[in-house]
Chains A and B, each alone.
Chain A
Amino acid sequence: MTERLPARGLLDRRGALKTLGLGAGALAASTAMPGFIQAQSSAPIRIGFQVHRTGIGASYGRWYDRTSQAAVKRINDAGGINGRMVELVPEDDGTDPKRGAEVVEKFATQSKCDVAFGTLFSHVVIGSAPRAGELKLPYFVVSEGHHVASGMLNRYTLQPGITDVKSQVQAMAPFVSQNLGKKVCMIFPDFAFGHDHRDYFSKAFEAQGGTINAKIAIPPTETSFTKYFPQIPRDTEVIYHVMTGPAVLTFVKELGEFFGPSRPELFGFIDSLEAVDMSSPGLEFLEGSYMWEGNPRYAQADQTEYDKAYREAVGVDDNGASVSDGKDVSTYAHMFGCWETLNIIKAGMEASGYQGPDDRAALIEAVEAMTDMPEGMDHPQGAKRFNGKTHQVFGHQYISKVEGGRMNRVHTTSIEDTLYEDEVDYTTQSF
């Protein structure tokens, strides 16, 4: 009964809109039609880019922007999509879920975007995706959160360019238990993204025979961290840390000051140090610790030609910083997701013969039909496997060791390490 109520309300509203729209439509038809036909043939494809320019996600936003601009330039230089140029329509969401939903609405109704793309922070994705579903706007997120594959969102939301936390941490658990220790204390930010870490790492790690002896949640806006560290139990063998937000450098520094010379093993997610210069004072204690990296920040000895060309296109040097400013360190472990997602949008639009908003459902079906994606210029981070049912991609994960102030890759997981059972089948939902 309760499930039916909103549907009935929607129908009523739709009915009312239809009547209203009839009048307006008749009035506009004569003038609007030529423009519409024009849009189908040569007008650019507009990709609404929801970007964290301000708020706690700002350093990610800056690099997501640079990566996306570079990817669009490459697509346009190669002739665009279906013969049409691609235009990014960036809009700041302030890393705020409420504003995020408004931005999605603006893409669909005001700026006439074909699709929306690019959101990172999980609370913004969770705040925006329902609106994208209501407006029937394909919404390609680059967020890492498990919320897409968990079935929490809708058929219009896809994550084809970056792997999710559940698969990442599941692939890390064997490495940690075999190489670092069996008793792990977890420190994570207290919101959806951190909870994914807490839930899925502890499960995967316990399956490896290890124990989690403490789970320390820290509010994402916290600025001072020493007060949390006494909760770390004495018998901890490994500290698992993942932190986000503007205070990540303080977090890692204070962790070092807390332990001094006698620290346990550290295993961190690079999120704790994204956009942070590894040579910042106070980070020396990280020497010898391990990091998950979505994509190795420092150019490795066996760097692929794709990574080399991708770095050059985005403007990143071999140390993962901007070529124009060595202090401007990139969010290298995440931003490849923007590059790859844009290439998937292109591939999906080409496969479905996308012409305009009427073909949005066909575009989603075309992306859902994708499976293996080979490593190459479209996928410089590595090969991927897309699951059309859960709308989530799976790929290789990297573990690096901090040596001499830089991160050297020591382990690469297989795609199989990251797979888990489907929790949802979005393809059964209607458009």
Chain B
Amino acid sequence: MDFGPHLMLAMLEGAVAAAILALTAMGLSVVFGVMRVVNVAHGEFYMLGAVIAWFVATTLGTHPALGFVAALVIAPALVGALAAAADKLILQRIDYDPERTIVATIGLLYIIQQGTLMTFGPDARPVEPPFNSRIALPWYEWVDGKLSFYYPWGLSITSYKLFVIAAAAAILVALWLFMTRTRAGLIMRATQQDSQMAQAFGIPVSRVYALVFGLGAALAAMGAVLVVPIQQAHYLMGADPLLLSFIVVIIGGLGSLPGTVIAAILIGMSDGVISVFFSPTLAKILATLAVAMVLVFRPQGILGKKAH
């Protein structure tokens, strides 16, 4: 493949990866920002979103579009409710103690993963996309000094992948509006800045925490519902997103939402481009190296604030 179309394909693939990653990492970042909780079970909430999406789509058994829309509503709601319950039942009882929280969420990871294995089974199961047509993309070349277009072999994307990018962007904008323009968002930001002061002003901090934990999980589940028509639901699919989300959140700055988006685009795109031109392993190596460099030279991340 020529360099130009090749790069374009790499960037399109990278954009899809970045879109999903931005949603998933945003969930992790919100939870850390407000609650200072490192949620190791985050990847399993993602996986659960995909599995529930499959379940909803197959149970309804109607038109794929209807099943997909239902899944997009039901899966994040269920996963969010489960996460909020986990916060009430486990994390609040151990007082969000950092070490014990990590151990507790590792436990949660295994419970969700093995529970899925026991019920959903070990197979990868597909969800049909609501619409999916191949869009061949043109490329330009100069023939005798005149611009002309042609369709290179393999340069294409599907309408569904474009939709994923748009949908992820829309969800992120909605999240930003929610955080900055609504009363609930204001309460969350207040809790993030100083939870003791917020409590003194009558904010039910424990309820806010449960909601935030649920919101974080729901964002991961939304990312999974979007990705499951491209990939398939599988009980081990949570490992990669967890690793990448941590990389993104550390590079972007723990708790910084704009930083998370920037880092997700950076990591997603570079992952797409590097794995197309070189190898996927090299892409992972470079991403991990970037984390190490950020931790050494700018531990607070690109947009993170220095710890006081």
Instruction: Decide: B272 and A55 in contact? CB cutoff 8 A.
Output: no
Question: How would residues 117 to 136 of chain B score, 1 for a CB under 8 Å from any chain A CB and 0 otherwise?
Answer: 10001111010100010101
User: Does B6 lie at the interface of the complex (its beta carbon under 8 Å from any beta carbon of A)?
Assistant: yes
Which residue on chain A has the smallest CB distance to residue B136? Answer: A260
A223 touches which one: B13, B117, B240 (CB < 8 A)? B240
Complex Cα distance A228/B134, Å? Answer: 18
The one of B13, B153, B280 in contact with A219, judged by C-beta atoms closer than 8 angstroms, is B280
Against B, the Cβ 8 Å flags (1 = close, 0 = not) of A50-94 are: 000111101101100000000000000000000000000000000
Does the CB pair A227–B117 fall under 8 Å? Answer: no
Interface pair A230/B154, CB less than 8 Å apart: yes
Q: How far is the CA of A247 from the CA of B240 in the complex (A)?
A: 14
Those of B219-244 within 8 Å (CB) of chain A: 230-232, 234, 236-237, 240
Do A58 and B122 touch (CB < 8 A)? Answer: yes
- Bound complex: CA A376 to CA B69 (Å): 52
- Cα distance A62–B230 when bound, in Å? 25
Which residues of the partner chain B approach A61 to less than 8 Å between Cβ atoms?
122
Query: Is there a chain B Cβ closer than 8 Å to A191's Cβ?
Result: no
Query: Are B272 and A257 touching (Cβ within 8 A)?
Result: no
Whether B206 is near chain A, meaning CB under 8 Å from some CB there, is no
Known contacts A227-B275, A227-B276, A260-B134; A234 and B1 CB within 8 A of each other: yes
Is A281 located at the chain interface by the 8 A CB criterion?
yes
Which residue of B17, B154, B232, B276 contacts A247 across the interface (Cβ within 8 Å)? Answer: B232
Let me know if A224 and B6 touch, CB within 8 A: no
State whether A247 touches B121 (Cβ < 8 A).
no
Of A53, A229, A230, A259, most B-chain CB atoms within 10 Å? A230
CA A247 – CA B228 in complex, angstroms? 11
Query: Which of these, A54, A224, A259, contacts B230 with CB under 8 Å?
Result: A224
Mark contacts of A251-262 with chain B using CB atoms, 8 A cut-off: 1 yes-contact digit, 0 otherwise: 000000111101
Contact partners of A281 in chain B: CB under 8 A:
126, 128, 132
Tell me, in angstroms, the Cα distance from A219 to B282 when the chains sit together: 12
By a CB distance below 8 angstroms, the chain B residues around A208 are: none
Task: Check: A43 CB closer than 8 A to any chain B CB.
Answer: no
Could you tell me if B124 and A246 are in contact, using CB atoms closer than 8 angstroms? yes
Expressed in whole angstroms, the minimum distance between the Cβ of B88 and any Cβ of chain A is 31
> Are the C-beta atoms of B231 and A223 separated by less than 8 Å?
yes
Interface status of B41 (Cβ within 8 A of chain A): no
Closest Cβ of chain A: how far from B11's Cβ, in Å? 11
The closest CB in chain A to the CB of B239 belongs to A221
B193 within 8 A of A: no
Query: Does B156 lie at the interface of the complex (its beta carbon under 8 Å from any beta carbon of A)?
Result: yes
Assess whether B134 is in contact with A223, with CB atoms less than 8 Å apart. Answer: no
Q: Which B residues are in CB contact (< 8 Å) with A230? A: 1, 6, 9-10, 154, 276
Q: Which of B132, B230, B276 contacts A250 (CB 8 A)?
A: B230
Assess whether B281 is interfacial by the CB under 8 Å rule.
yes
A side interface size, CB within 8 A:
32
* A to B contact number (C-beta, < 8 Å): 76
A300 proximal to B (CB < 8 A) = no
B231, A54: Cβ atoms closer than 8 Å: no
Asked if A226 and B280 sit within 8 Å, CB to CB, the answer is no
B180 in the interface (beta carbon within 8 A):
no
Within 8 A of A (CB), among B272-287: 272, 275-276, 280-281
- CB pair B134–A250 under 8 Å, yes or no, is no
Task: Say whether B158 faces chain A, with CB atoms less than 8 Å apart.
Answer: yes
A55-B122, A227-B13, A227-B275 known; A257+B134 contact, CB < 8 A = yes
Do A257 and B10 have beta carbons less than 8 Å apart?
no
**Which chain B residues (95-148) contact chain A, with CB distance < 8 Å?**
117, 121-124, 126, 128, 132, 134, 136
Contact between chains at A58 and B121 (CB < 8 Å): yes
Which of B117, B128, B136, B230 is packed against the most chain A CB atoms within 10 Å? B230
CA distance A358 to B201 in the complex (A): 80
Q: Provide the residues of chain A in CB contact with B126, threshold 8 Å.
A: 249, 280-281
When the two chains form their complex, are residues B134 and A227 in contact, meaning their CB atoms are under 8 A apart? no
A94 to chain B, nearest CB (A): 9
Please, which residues of chain A bring their CB within 8 A of the CB of B153? 234, 259, 262
CA distance A133 to B99 in the complex (A): 44
How many angstroms between the C-alpha atoms of A311 and B234 in the bound complex?
Answer: 29
Give the residues in chain B near A305, CB-CB below 8 Å: none
* Cross-chain contact B124 with A232 (CB below 8 angstroms): no
Q: A222: CB under 8 A from chain B?
A: yes
Given known contacts A58-B121, A224-B17, A250-B230, A258 and B281 CB-to-CB distance under 8 angstroms:
no
Which A176-231 residues have C-beta < 8 A from chain B?
Answer: 219, 222-224, 226-230
Contact with A53, one of B9, B122, B234 (Cβ below 8 angstroms) = B122
Q: Is the CB of B136 within 8 A of A59?
A: no
| B122 contacts across to A, CB distance below 8 A | 53-55, 58-59, 61
Q: Closest B-chain residue to A254, C-beta based?
A: B230
- Taking a contact as CB atoms under 8 Å apart, the answer to whether A58 and B276 are in contact is no
B200-213 vs A, Cβ < 8 Å mask (1 yes, 0 no): 00000000000000
CB distance from A63 to the nearest CB of B (A): 11
Distance (whole angstroms) from the CB of A214 to the closest CB of chain B: 11
Instruction: Decide if B10 touches A227 in the complex (CB within 8 Å).
Output: yes
What are the residues of chain B within 8 A of A275 when measuring CB–CB? 123
Q: How far is the CA of A233 from the CA of B114 in the complex (A)?
A: 42
Closest to B152 in A: A234
Give chain A residues whose Cβ lies under 8 Å from the Cβ of B123. 58-59, 62, 246, 275
Closest chain B residue to A230, Cβ basis = B1
User: Is the pair A246, B234 in contact by a Cβ cutoff of 8 Å?
Assistant: yes
- Note all chain A residues with C-beta closer than 8 A to B231: 223-224, 247, 250
* Among B121, B124, B156, B280, contact of A257 (Cβ-Cβ < 8 Å): B156
When distances are taken between beta carbons in the complex, the residues of chain B under 8 Å from A280 are 126
Interface set of A (CB-CB < 8 Å, partner B): 53-56, 58-59, 61-62, 219, 222-224, 226-230, 232, 234, 246-247, 249-250, 257-260, 262, 275, 280-282
24 A-B contacts (beta carbon < 8 Å): A55-B122, A58-B123, A61-B122, A62-B123, A219-B280, A223-B240, A224-B13, A224-B230, A227-B10, A227-B272, A227-B275, A230-B6, A230-B10, A232-B1, A232-B154, A246-B232, A246-B234, A246-B236, A247-B232, A249-B124, A260-B156, A262-B153, A275-B123, A281-B128
Given contacts A55-B236, A227-B10, A246-B232, 6 further A-B contacts (CB under 8 A): A223-B237, A223-B240, A224-B13, A229-B154, A246-B124, A246-B236
Shortest beta-carbon contacts, A-B, top 9: A58-B122, A246-B124, A230-B1, A227-B276, A54-B122, A246-B234, A223-B231, A227-B275, A230-B6
